[in-house]
Structure 1
């Protein structure tokens, strides 16, 4: 593969994205104006899958048993690259995480790849991934084997930083219930076993535990059931706890500490503790540095420079982590605003701004070029897989 040919392919892919600029922005704005939520993104999935089908992709809807998940393939077999498309929104905030831009960028990259490379270079697969925010569509898709025959999984995420890789932690939620015995707090107070007091004591224990947890580890809880009336000693109380840690292994250690704390409180208060997982687990993200570097290089052609993430700064969690345990993956951040945070009304507004349009088109082009590199260069695939299997970045 000589440099002239490679440069020509990249130029053609960027041009193919540019030709679709208006239509891709209409998709992004259509999603932004009509937000749908976890596992209920029916109109978004239909819009995106329909556009891919019209372009000649073989579309399969309802993959992994999820009504709003889909795959769209151009070509078959290996090599194969997956472009991950998110389209769920946040209740009350709409697209305050910019998934409308993720969806349009993945769509644009897939369409450009088919128009330039056809089906001869391998398989281009666009994967519709519902419920990143509150469900974990990618977790279920990975478990169903959607990524088993894929050489790389690529996506970008809008943000307030422009970073080559995503420092995404592992996370899970657990429900802890304490069972005591009801009584009248005045008439027969000694007969009661206060489940709410036990739950509050668990919060106190976890506060003390939090002072000695490692970097990026924390437990945040809320009370979801604290009793029914002030004149009844609560016989049941329940809390929901979100756990995060820098690695999946550290997260499992944290789960063990939560269990130990709950059991200790139950023993001390004469209650019974029930600890159960309430959500799917998101693994921490494992970045494919060799592919992230390619993406950053392609994005720089559009005048957007990416830097390594700031040490010690973490940006939440995502189900892309579960994909990254199986195949080389990238999840760079590209800023659409310079201050503040996502999951805010300000970020939702930024996801429909002129800057967002510029980032969308630049990211779509960089994704398409990176995907083409994966498909056309066996050496790049081999290096990415070798690092992935060794556990390196």
Structure 2
């Protein structure tokens, strides 16, 4: 490592330390006032105020999303790095996924790196990404071109494991509605076409399909409309199905299975069926091993050591997948509580997101994110290797 880059790393650590209390105050402020998807107005205002205070150019309402933002600094000519911040909360559970720590870590990395670099050739972006839990804000940002021309997207996520990358599946929700014909179940049973019976048959068929799905693929459904009275054959029934696949290709294969099962059920029962996707598709996460290795090395200086994920374990889905399939991206998990004590999306995890361990992890992550971003901005070879790794993964894992 050249002496100039090491000096930047030293300055990053100093700049994070200077801002440590401010960053923690930001994390706690977000924790105290949790806002759900697309309603994160206070969070966006707080984060952009901190960025503007230190000289970032602020763009609000990015991609038409009122609570999204894109702040930038640098000359604009040269490499571009995006530090991503999530800040939406879970209804009823607050920051039980630790997004307050994600936001504070990304903020700290952005502020520290700008101060450490001074004038530099390139661009540093701090991107506020709303609605990860429900809605897929990053999908909208990707489609709007926010990440076009960006060489690396960097973020971290609190968890109960310290893993160098996130085994996140592709996912989509599908609504299936069966249209039958109402009738009296005793007086004129032959006149009815039981929409609810059709939906139940679809559940049974999917249960058979589920047994032969590949690892990482999964389908889970709920009945959202099953009729209104027991003395009427239901004329309409509706189910909502969550589909997951280890890859986006596997997800689309599963969606095709669902479509065929629904159409086959309708043909067998005489009902009509409508199959529609609900919300945005989350693509699977494609880790960039070049950048993940650089991040892990920097994080180790703080005494946090990352391992590979456990084989065959998947931890849900996230809209970061839609970023990762387009440009070099990292999304490591950093433990703020132990797996033996529970999991995320629980009150215990919400408490951990405001704990002293959470503070230590957030500050260490801010340093490691900033140092990784500095390598992409200042060492062209790192970016070149990262893009090569992404192309290799895309070829092997379409």
- TM category (shorter chain) comes to over 0.9
Note if contact 1:78-1:150 (Cα within 8 Å) is conserved in structure 2: no
1:127 and 1:231 mapped to 2: Cα distance? 55
Mapped partners of 1:257, 1:119: distance in 2:
54
3-state DSSP of counterpart to 2:274: strand
Query: Would you say the 8 A contact 1:282–1:318 is kept in 2?
Result: yes
Aligned to 2:22: 23
TM-aligned CA deviation for residue 389 of structure 1:
2.2
1:294 aligns with 2:273: no
Which 5+ residue runs of structure 1 have no aligned equivalent? none
Runs of 4+ in 1 over 3 A off after TM superposition: none
CA distance in 1, matches of 2:203, 2:77: 52
Q: Give runs of aligned pairs for residues 84-233 of structure 1, distance below 5 A.
A: 84-233=84-233
CA contact (8 A) 2:220 2:242 kept: yes
Match of 1:349 among 351, 361, 364: 351
Partner in structure 2 of residue 365 of structure 1: 367
How far apart in 1 are the matches of 2:19 and 2:121?
22
How far residue 101 of structure 1 moved from its aligned partner, in angstroms, is: 0.2
- CA displacement at 1:334 relative to structure 2: 0.5
2:282 partner SS: coil
Coordinate RMSD, CA, aligned = 1.0
TM-score w.r.t. the length of structure 2 is 0.97
* 1:260 correspondence with 2:260: yes
Matches of 2:118 and 2:283, distance apart in 1: 34
Alignment of 1:280-359 (within 5 A): 280-339=280-339, 340-359=342-361
Q: Give TM-score, length-normalised by structure 1.
A: 0.98
> What SS does structure 2 have at the residue aligned with 1:127?
strand
Q: SS at the partner of 2:242? A: strand
Whether 1:10 and 2:12 are equivalent positions in the alignment is no
**CA shift digits 1:108-157 (9 cap, x unpaired):** 00000111112413111000000000000000000000000210000000
Give the secondary-structure state (helix, strand or coil) at the position aligned to 2:280: coil
Which residue of structure 1 aligns with residue 81 of structure 2? 81
CA distance in 2, matches of 1:10, 1:214: 44
Aligned counterparts of 2:170 and 2:77: Cα–Cα separation in 1: 32
Contact 2:156 2:331 in 1 (8 A): yes
- Alpha-carbon contact 2:182-2:234 (below 8 Å) kept: yes
Residues 201-242 of structure 1: CA deviation (Å, up to 9, x unaligned) = 111111111111000101000000111111111100000000
Residue 38 of structure 1: aligned partner: 37
Give the number of equivalent residue pairs.
392
Q: Give structure 2 stretches of 5+ with no counterpart.
A: none
Q: Aligned partners of 1:280, 1:78: CA distance in 2, in Å? A: 32
- 3-state secondary structure, aligned to 1:280: strand
